[in-house]
Structure 1
Amino acid sequence: MLAATHAAFSTVMYLGGATVFEYKIDPIAWCLAMLFSIMPDIDLPTSKVGRPLFWISVPLEKRFGHRTITHSFVGIAILVTLISPLYFYYPLYFWALLGGYWSHLQIDMANIRGVDLFWPSPIRVVMPGKRAYRLEVGSKAEMIVLCSLLVFCVGLYPMSSLGLRGGLHQILKDFDISYDEFIEVQGANWYTLELKAIDNLTLEHINCNCPILGAWQSGLIIEHNGKVRSVGKSQMQHNLFPVDAVLIKGEPLRVISQRVDMKGRSLRWLVNNLKANHGYYLVGELYVDADKVVNVSQIETYHPVLWGGDKVRLHYARAEDLGEYLNVTAIRGEVVVQFWLRPGDKPVELTFAGGMDGEEVPDVLKEMF
């Protein structure tokens, strides 16, 4: 095969691998794969790699011939031995070199002669088996294959950055894929949901790019028009029914949190005394006197503050979401105050105006000052 065909085929394999296995494209690894896709032809003095390395290619051709030792498992074993240090220090480059080398052997099997993959055994490996379907070097058939490979390269490049699941996700815009992906990666980055949905209460059609806060009841919690809403397939448990949904990765996310013991304290105490230079979310459960709680929210449909029996549950609640629950005093329980920081945000400054058992600055935040 021509050097261009080998380089194109190695690129298809490299980008295809990135699409399926979702590794990050590295320009150096890509170039190494293309370079080593022509390396087996070092046993041919007239080849692209054989001419500059004639002092190796000439003896190889005289001693072994073309498509023998360098096109066999023996050649692969020699290569692995030579590049083995890369496996421990730069594994990505190790696999790029090995994959590029193997791509040469694989496409050469489609040549009329095939390759002596099991050299020194005389058995030749060809693919396909029927001679009429195999390719001659430089023939029109090879030019058609080369053009097809270039088209594949163009098509695979955008897919390689998304991955197979990401590419299918962009095409299908399936909510379940968005949910599954978010569960795997939540907390590492800011994520946005590109959403088309229907409000289960008003039947309003909604189109938005909404920040995602978390997950709830096999659905996602988003912020839409300043309100925290849930998106999911259950019309009884979620506020919005998704029609199309695509998960969009954003900036790195850093979460700073502090636990607050709420025994004998009210949510009003927490809101009034918590002083911070960042917005925050409240997460936790409070056990309260059931006789003193008024049910002001739907138990099944998502709300940042949910009441059930003797328990008040906060799930990504903000001060403005607490409403009638501000005066509820906890018998026991705790609340986690979460600060979500973007790169470049100021350090968190958090104090409790009324004191917190004598501790003004939480331990977890001392290093932030």
Structure 2
Amino acid sequence: MLAATHAAFSTALYLGGAAVFEYQTDPVSWGLAILFSFMPDIDIPTSRVGRPLFWLSVPLEKRFGHRTITHSVIGVAILAALASPLYFAYPLCFWSVLGGYWSHIQIDMANIRGVDLFWPSPLRVVMPGKVRFRLEVGSKAEMIVLCALLVFCVGLYPMSSLGLRGGLHQILKDFDIAYDEYVQVQGLNWHTLELKAIDNLTLEHIVCSCPVLGTWQSGLIIEYQGKARSIGKSQMHHNLFPVDAVLIKGEPLRVISQRVDMKGRSLRWLVDNLQANHGYYLLGELYVDADKVVNVSQIETYHPVIWGGNKVKLHYAKAEDLHDYLNLTAIRGEVMVQFWLRPGDAAVELSFSGGGGKVTTPGVLEGMF
């Protein structure tokens, strides 16, 4: 095959591998895949790699001939041994070297002669089996294959960064795919949901790009118009029913959390004393006096604060969500305070209205109360 065909086929395998196995492509590993797609032809002094390495290609051709040892399993094994240090330092580069080398052998199987894959065995491997379907070097048929590979690579390029599942997600805009993806990566990056949905209560059609906060009852919690809303396919558990949904990965996310013991303390105490230079979310479960009456007018199927007689659950609640519950005093329970930071955000700073000045905590919050 021509060098261009080998380069195109190795690129197709490299980008296809990125789509399936979801590794990050980079110019170095990509370049290695293309470079080593030429290497099996080192057994020809007139080839692209044979000319500069004539001192190796000439004796190889005289001793073994073309498409023998360098196009065999033995050749792949020798290369793997020589490149093995890369496996420990740069695994992607190691597999790019082997993948590029193998791509040459694989497409040469479509040549009329085939390759001696199991050299020194005389068994010759060809694909496809019938001669009339195999390619002659430099023929019109090879030019057609080359053009098809180039078009295929152009289509694979965006898919390689999204992954196969991500690419299907972009096409299908399926909420279940968005949910499954988020479950696997939550807490690592900021995520946004490009959403078309229907409000289960008002039947309003909603189109938004909403930050994703977490999960809830096989659905997601998003922030819509400053409020946490649940989205999913169950009208019993969710505020919004998804029509189209695409999950968009954003900047790296850094979550700083602190547990607060709420025994004998009210939610008003928490809100009044928790003052910080960043927004925060509250999660937790508090047991309260069952005889306490709370004037709750909330009819949404999901709310960041859920009151059930003697128990209050907080699920990505903000201070303004606690308005009806501020006077509840916990018999026992904890609240987790989460600060979500972006790259370059200042360290979390806490101050206490009861005195004690300001505390700056650059990493994990310690001794908050």
Q: Which TM-score bucket, shorter chain as reference?
A: over 0.9
Structure 2 CA distance for aligned equivalents of residues 190 and 143 of structure 1: 45
Structure 2 CA distance for aligned equivalents of residues 59 and 364 of structure 1: 64
Q: 1:73 to 1:67 in 2, by over 3 A?
A: same
- Tell me the residue number matched to 1:365: 365
Equivalent positions of 1:281-300 (< 5 A) are 281-294=281-294, 296=296
Are the equivalent residues in 2 in contact too, given 1:237–1:300 (CA < 8 A)?
no
SS in 2 for 1:292: coil
Deviation of the 1:347 alpha carbon: 1.1
Are the equivalent residues in 2 in contact too, given 1:255–1:341 (CA < 8 A)?
yes
Deviation of the 1:367 alpha carbon: 11
Structure 2 CA distance for aligned equivalents of residues 144 and 11 of structure 1: 17
Q: 1:361 to 1:133 in 2, by over 3 A?
A: closer
Name which of structure 1's ranges 225-234 and 290-299 shifts more when overlaid on structure 2.
290-299
Are the equivalent residues in 2 in contact too, given 1:293–1:328 (CA < 8 A)?
no
Deviation per CA, 1:42-75, whole angstroms, max 9, x where unpaired? 0011111111111111111111111111111111
- Tell me the residue number matched to 2:48: 48
Are the equivalent residues in 1 in contact too, given 2:258–2:366 (CA < 8 A)?
no
- Tell me the residue number matched to 2:216: 216
Are the equivalent residues in 2 in contact too, given 1:299–1:306 (CA < 8 A)?
no
- Tell me the residue number matched to 1:25: 25
Deviation per CA, 1:215-239, whole angstroms, max 9, x where unpaired? 1111111111111111110111111
Are the equivalent residues in 1 in contact too, given 2:282–2:337 (CA < 8 A)?
yes
Are the equivalent residues in 1 in contact too, given 2:20–2:163 (CA < 8 A)?
yes
Q: 1:259 to 1:299 in 2, by over 3 A?
A: farther
Q: Percent identity?
A: 82
Structure 1 CA distance for aligned equivalents of residues 295 and 128 of structure 2: 72
Deviation per CA, 1:221-280, whole angstroms, max 9, x where unpaired? 111111111111011111110000000111111111111111111111111121211111
1:185 aligns with 2:185: yes
Are the equivalent residues in 1 in contact too, given 2:351–2:359 (CA < 8 A)?
yes
RMSD over aligned CA atoms reads 2.0
Structure 1 CA distance for aligned equivalents of residues 163 and 17 of structure 2: 9
Deviation of the 1:298 alpha carbon: 5.4
- Tell me the residue number matched to 2:332: 332
Are the equivalent residues in 1 in contact too, given 2:347–2:360 (CA < 8 A)?
no
Are the equivalent residues in 1 in contact too, given 2:259–2:334 (CA < 8 A)?
yes
Deviating above 3 A after TM superposition, structure 1's stretches of 4 or more consecutive aligned residues are: 297-300, 359-364
TM-score (norm 2): 0.96
- Tell me the residue number matched to 1:58: 58
AA aligned to 2:67 is: R
- Tell me the residue number matched to 2:7: 7
Equivalent positions of 1:105-124 (< 5 A) are 105-124=105-124
- Tell me the residue number matched to 2:235: 235
AA aligned to 1:232 is: G
Structure 1 CA distance for aligned equivalents of residues 365 and 331 of structure 2: 27
- Tell me the residue number matched to 2:342: 342
Structure 2 CA distance for aligned equivalents of residues 172 and 55 of structure 1: 55
Name which of structure 1's ranges 116-125 and 72-81 shifts more when overlaid on structure 2.
72-81
Name which of structure 1's ranges 5-14 and 269-278 shifts more when overlaid on structure 2.
269-278
Q: 1:98 to 1:297 in 2, by over 3 A?
A: farther
Are the equivalent residues in 2 in contact too, given 1:136–1:142 (CA < 8 A)?
yes
- Tell me the residue number matched to 1:164: 164
Unaligned runs of 5+ in 1: none
Structure 2 CA distance for aligned equivalents of residues 360 and 50 of structure 1: 67
Structure 1 CA distance for aligned equivalents of residues 252 and 365 of structure 2: 19
Structure 2 CA distance for aligned equivalents of residues 361 and 126 of structure 1: 69
Deviation of the 1:365 alpha carbon: 2.5
Deviation of the 1:305 alpha carbon: 0.5
Are the equivalent residues in 2 in contact too, given 1:192–1:248 (CA < 8 A)?
yes
Deviation per CA, 1:67-101, whole angstroms, max 9, x where unpaired? 11111111112111211111111111111100000
Structure 2 CA distance for aligned equivalents of residues 176 and 194 of structure 1: 14
Q: 1:32 to 1:335 in 2, by over 3 A?
A: same
TM-score (norm 1): 0.96
1:269 aligns with 2:269: yes
Are the equivalent residues in 1 in contact too, given 2:213–2:223 (CA < 8 A)?
yes
Deviation of the 1:163 alpha carbon: 0.2
SS in 2 for 1:76: helix
Are the equivalent residues in 2 in contact too, given 1:297–1:306 (CA < 8 A)?
no
1:202 aligns with 2:197: no
AA aligned to 1:272 is: D
- Tell me the residue number matched to 2:310: 310
AA aligned to 1:346 is: A
- Tell me the residue number matched to 2:127: 127
Instruction: Provide the aligned length of Structure 1 versus Structure 2.
Output: 367
Unaligned runs of 5+ in 2: none
SS in 2 for 1:281: strand
AA aligned to 1:242 is: P
- Tell me the residue number matched to 2:351: 351
AA aligned to 2:9 is: F
